[in-house]
Chains A and B, each alone.
Chain A
Amino acid sequence: MQLEVPLLEFDHVSRFFAGRREVRALTDISLTVAHGEQICISGPSGSGKTTLLNLAGGLIEPSTGSIKMAGKRLDTLGRRTVASLRAREIGFIFQSSNLIPVLTAAENVDFSLRLAMPELTANERLGYVEEALEATRTLALKKSRPGELSGGEAQRIAIARALVKRPRLLLADEPTSHLDDANCEQIGSLFAELHAHWHTTLLIATHDSRILRQASRLLALNEGCLTGWVNPVARRSYAWS
């Protein structure tokens, strides 16, 4: 029987940032992410959560070690191939929505889809866009521009934008940090629904307990080192250092 290739593999990955003093953002991280997992990364500020997501998305390269996505080493792929990989396979959700302010919600989602799947016809794209907006419960806002949306609505559109291309991996960096409690609750349950219905692999850096609760695995980072991971069954038994 052939073993399934993991979606993402970190093999002794370290990342340093040069400067007046060298910053060791991540040190010797080894990690395997299987298809369909929902992993949350937590840790204090400066612990390396964002760096880990950036490495996973091919936005930066490791200083040492290697990262594989679906068995392919990212550092061996060219800049263009990695960009194409991001367009098709990886969805990003940022701390703020980063929507294009001059486009409507639907156009923002459509723009991402065009980059990912330029071969689709206008009608096919419309179907994808409406499905993604429906999934994030924002279909009614499709003609609104980002300036007319609340923070929570904009973030849900941003999730629809990341989701519309059906990415194999969805990376979210503190997606609720700018939102109030009610919106955090909504985004938290949205991630749960998306994971349940779309089976997207999620890698979420967050402090939000409502999202952390839904994770199939929790990673704890501190000062660039993986200090532990917790599975859902054992979650109550361990405290993070």
Chain B
Amino acid sequence: MGESRGTQIIRLELNMQYWRLALLNTRRNTRRSVLAISLMAVGTAALIINSGIITFIFGGLRDDAIYGRFGHLQLYQQGYLENYRRDPFAYLVPMDEYVTLSSLAKSVPQVVSVTAELSVPIMIYTSGRASAANAMGEESGVNLRTIRIVQGKSTLSDDTGIPTVLVGRGLAEKLQVNLGDVMTLIARGANQSSNAIDVLVGGIFEEGFRDYDDWSLKAPLEVTQYLVGVKGVEKVLVFLNNAAATDKARQNIARLANSKGFLIDSATWYELAIFYRQVIAMFGKELRVIMIIVEAVAWFGIVAILWMIFTERQREMAALLCMGMSRVQLSILFVQEGGWLGLAGAVAGVVSGLLIAKATSVIGIPMPPPPGSTRDFVAQVALSPAKVLIPASLTFLTALAASIVPSIWIWRLDIARNLRPAEG
């Protein structure tokens, strides 16, 4: 049989009384409570800052991957993903189909822009020097948003009669080319013939990934199409207003394409960005380990403080048990006291974490280039409700978990011994 409503109210009222007593107890030794709260606040703030910096780095990597290389979504002719290595030009999207597919994709609400790409392995000759490279044929002005232009301009054009290209920094150094130099690009065409074209160095870019910058060249789409002698595109890059909408947009585009009879394959930026996934996995694990260490330190600290409280109040606790308080109630009182300390520690940690994050973001933290990257950067603290609430909740739960330990001591508390008069 369940409790009556009246009994429930009484129980609730009694618990509220305990919550108040627990709160008052935390004020008995202010210095000790401040110490405990500070311990938890520092841990919480450290977790918030660390998690915020890592989130910022993740965000930067994600944006580099999306806007510098992959787009949010890539669309291909069906069969391309399985066969492009064997026969790269057999699965191109013809230009007329690209135009239709582009219109379809643009009708999806999340889509911001659509562009096309045709990558071609080439040889570059200039002033007696030669290098192999990968020419990325792109529609002008769409896929260049996060490319850092080291020299020259960011636009691709062939308005001057001789097409302009952007050269990766490492490749430019290897070929010793400067702005305005002319290079000859040679590629094997789809019909096995060799095609060549002269281009002008219009800019030097640095994408940030050494492998990419050492081997890449960005050219107008028409240049790479000319080099391989095709009138199609290898992949259609779709940019969205929100990375989180990628899967939804993929479904919408696939549904529309199917309804119009297009047979397409697709891949998201997340599937293509292997390096990003590896970094996420590595830092994510590191963050979890740091969280465990910080919370373990907080746990031991709080247990030590509760042990001091327990030893100081044994006589008082014995008196409470004597008055008829049950050991369970007394244990709950300790948990409530730990809960208040945890709450105060979490709130103080959130406030100090947010203030430090704000200050850090204003000042910025100079960071060296990440592994495989050529660019140093200034880190900031990227915060989201989850990045703040998770460390705060963990701190609160750690304090609660620590305050369960005294229930073991309470269970063993000898009432009579602790109430024994000094003599008698």
Contacts and interface: CB of A to CB of B under 8 A. Distances in A.
Contact of B28 (A49, A90, A101): A101
A83 B419 CA distance: 16
A44 B55 CA distance: 73
A18 to B, nearest CB: 13
B10 A103 contact: no
Contacts of B415: 54, 59
Contact of A86 (B6, B324, B416, B423): B324
Interface stretch (B74-82, B122-130, B303-311, B313-321): B313-321
A46 B423 CA distance: 8
A209 interface: no
A60 interface: yes
B320 to A, nearest CB: 8
A100 B28 CA distance: 11
B322 A86 contact: yes
A191 interface: no
Contacts of B408: none
A72 B324 CA distance: 18
Given A119-B6, A119-B10, A177-B421, A92 B322 contact: yes
A88 B323 CA distance: 9
B322 A102 contact: no
Interface residues of A, number: 38
A225 B104 CA distance: 102
Given A92-B319, A118-B11, A83 B424 contact: no
Contact of B17 (A45, A51, A95, A111): A111
B336 to A, nearest CB: 13
Contacts of A174: 421, 424
A92 B316 contact: no
Nearest to B319: A98
Contacts of A205: 424
B14 A118 contact: yes
B24 interface: yes
Given A98-B319, A174-B421, A60 B324 contact: no
A152 B27 CA distance: 26
A46 B326 contact: no
Contact of B421 (A111, A112, A119, A173): A173
A92 B323 contact: yes
Contacts of A101: 28
B422 interface: yes
A115 B323 contact: yes
Contact of A94 (B13, B319, B326): B319
A57 B419 CA distance: 12
Contacts of B324: 83-88, 90, 112, 115-116
B281 interface: no
A114 interface: yes
Contact of B424 (A46, A112, A161): A46
A205 B24 CA distance: 34
Contact of B423 (A45, A51, A88, A119): A45
26 contacts: A45-B424, A50-B416, A50-B421, A50-B424, A54-B416, A57-B322, A59-B415, A59-B416, A59-B419, A83-B324, A86-B323, A87-B323, A94-B421, A98-B419, A100-B21, A101-B28, A102-B25, A102-B27, A102-B28, A111-B21, A115-B323, A118-B10, A118-B11, A119-B6, A119-B10, A173-B419
